[in-house]
Amino acid sequence: MLTDTKVRQAKSTEKSYKIYDADGLYIEIAPTGAKKWRWKYRWQGKEKRLGLGIYPDVSLKLAREKRDALRKQLASGEDPSLIRKKERIARSEGSNTFQYMAEEWFLEYSNVWSASHQQTTRKRLDTYLLPEIGDKLMGDITPFIILDFLKRLEKRGLLETANRLLGICSMVFRRAVALGKVQSNPCRDLKGALAPARAKHHAALTTKDGARSVMRSIEAYQGSASVRAAVRFTALTFVRQQELRFAKWDEILWEDAMWLIPAERMKGRREHIVPLSRQAIKILHDLLPLTGSKTYIFVGSKGTPISVNTVRCALRSMGFSNDEMTAHGFRSMASTLLNEMGFRSDVIERQLAHVEGNTVRAAYNRAEYLTERREMMQKWADFLDSLL
């Protein structure tokens, strides 16, 4: 267990580090020398963390008292994190502060986001926006206040962060305008005021020779049956890893040779159809004796879905560097080569599940171009076979 002397004498290093006390309480020492109390706990099987204040403002004794109070909330069957959020909103109720409106916006919309998007957005709010403008009244926040803050981030090289924060700010203000809480959205006047974030490109081999190299390496790969199947299936279907990892046996429509991915697992939150080639069906048939009794198709040694890095690590073991080929790179490879093979771009884009700009039309187009997509997916599988 910690002592006050040990906390006081803890020195900063180049990287943040933690010193643990007991029952999930620890203090995090930042490179700047700041010492932040945090409490780690589990809620419904998920690990969560809460900040308890900064030392020495919050002493070791007070941090333990806060931890014990939160443990009582947890023992009573309530999530301390959710309680804190509700209390935070209640404290600013009626004040029309940015924090109040941002918390309302987050609670209203985050339930349809993926877990990773929820976590990232929450972190951006708590780390940047709320400490900077959280206590300001919505009507007092001018374009200059927002731009000055974001320009400081820009100077630190946080271009993408600055642009993302501007987007979050704008969504909070748009909702506030719609509710009559504020007259205008100050972010609207900042369009083009920030340097654009540098686009991130997923490494991919997009030539025929590059694809041949990848497919021959996959053919020779000696990993486990589930991992070999996952890599081959990725090449054949070019789906995102989130969609692949959590693929379930009951999503496979065997008679129709299709894989129906539910909306909640799709990036665009729309149900998606993947026509399955003969080669893809064979992979599934070969896996049935191994994982057919389980919920998920591609599982690791513990019976849980393969990890987000499984396909990437397999590619690394085949000799492809991060700058040559990634799991996401199969999408770029398919897009480039299918265009060269003469398939219509609309058909390719629909199979890639890229979000349709017309939301009314998009609601009805899960099966759009399905006949052409069936033909394309079979010819793609045959093309990959021909490279061997």
Give the model's pLDDT for residue 186: 92
CATH number reported for the structural domain that contains residue 12 in this entry? 3.30.160.390
Beta bridge partners of 252: 259
Q: Is residue 28 situated within a structural domain?
A: yes
**Final residue belonging to a domain, choices 79, 101, 126:** 79
Give the model's pLDDT for residue 200: 52
Q: Catalytic site residue 328?
A: yes
Q: Is residue 84 situated within a structural domain?
A: no
CATH number reported for the structural domain that contains residue 328 in this entry? 1.10.443.10
Do 233 and 104 lie in a common domain? no
Rounded CA separation 336/340 (Å): 6
Q: Is residue 86 situated within a structural domain?
A: no
Give the number of domains in the chain: 3
Beta bridge partners of 295: none
Residue type, 32: T
Rounded CA separation 362/270 (Å): 8
Do 167 and 213 lie in a common domain? no
Do 291 and 193 lie in a common domain? no
Give the model's pLDDT for residue 284: 97
Rounded CA separation 34/360 (Å): 50
CATH number reported for the structural domain that contains residue 194 in this entry? 1.10.150.130
Do 41 and 146 lie in a common domain? no
Rounded CA separation 273/261 (Å): 6
Residue type, 98: F
Alpha helices in the chain (DSSP H): 4-9, 60-75, 80-91, 98-109, 115-124, 130-133, 143-155, 159-178, 208-220, 225-237, 241-245, 278-291, 310-317, 329-340, 345-351, 359-362, 370-386
CA angle, residues 224, 331, 228, in degrees to nearest 5: 10
Q: Which residues of 37-71 are buried (b: 16+ CB within 10 A; e: fewer)?
A: bbbebeeeeeebebebeebeebebeebbebbeebb
What is the phi/psi pair of residue 368, to 5°? -60, 135
**Active site residue: 72, 117, 123, 354, which one?**
354
Contact 168, 123 (CB under 8 A): no
What is the phi/psi pair of residue 27, to 5°? -120, 135
Do 163 and 187 lie in a common domain? yes
Q: Is residue 87 situated within a structural domain?
A: no
Residue type, 110: S
Do 160 and 225 lie in a common domain? no
Rounded to two decimals, the pTM is 0.53
Give the model's pLDDT for residue 90: 59
**Active site residue: 228, 240, 272, 312, which one?**
240
Contact 48, 41 (CB under 8 A): yes
**Active site residue: 267, 270, 282, 379, which one?**
267
**Final residue belonging to a domain, choices 141, 165, 200:** 200
Q: Catalytic site residue 354?
A: yes
**Active site residue: 46, 200, 302, 364, which one?**
364
Give the model's pLDDT for residue 60: 94
Which residues, 6+ apart, have CB-to-CB distance to 56 below 8 Å?
A: 8, 35
Do 321 and 369 lie in a common domain? yes
Do 228 and 145 lie in a common domain? no
Q: Is residue 232 situated within a structural domain?
A: yes
Rounded CA separation 258/274 (Å): 6
Q: Catalytic site residue 267?
A: yes
Q: Catalytic site residue 364?
A: yes
Do 72 and 152 lie in a common domain? no
Structure tokens at 342: 């003469």
Do 172 and 25 lie in a common domain? no
Instruction: pLDDT tens for the chain, 388 residues: list them.
Output: 889 899 999 998 888 899 999 999 999 998 888 899 999 999 988 889 999 988 988 899 999 999 999 999 999 998 998 888 777 665 555 568 899 899 989 988 887 676 667 888 898 899 899 999 998 888 889 999 999 988 888 887 778 888 889 999 999 999 999 888 888 999 988 888 887 765 555 567 788 988 998 999 999 998 889 999 999 999 999 999 989 999 999 999 999 999 999 988 887 778 899 999 999 999 999 999 999 999 999 998 778 899 988 999 999 888 887 778 889 899 999 999 999 999 998 999 999 988 654 444 444 455 688 999 999 999 999 999 999 8
Nearest CA to 177 out of 219, 231, 141 is that of: 141
Q: Catalytic site residue 331?
A: yes
**Active site residue: 331, 350, 373, 374, which one?**
331
> Which residue range is the domain that position 171 belongs to?
92-200
Rounded CA separation 59/4 (Å): 8
Q: Is residue 85 situated within a structural domain?
A: no
**Final residue belonging to a domain, choices 166, 200, 234:** 200
Do 30 and 179 lie in a common domain? no
Q: Is residue 23 situated within a structural domain?
A: yes
Do 49 and 135 lie in a common domain? no
**Active site residue: 245, 328, 350, 374, which one?**
328
Rounded CA separation 179/185 (Å): 12
Q: Is residue 264 situated within a structural domain?
A: yes
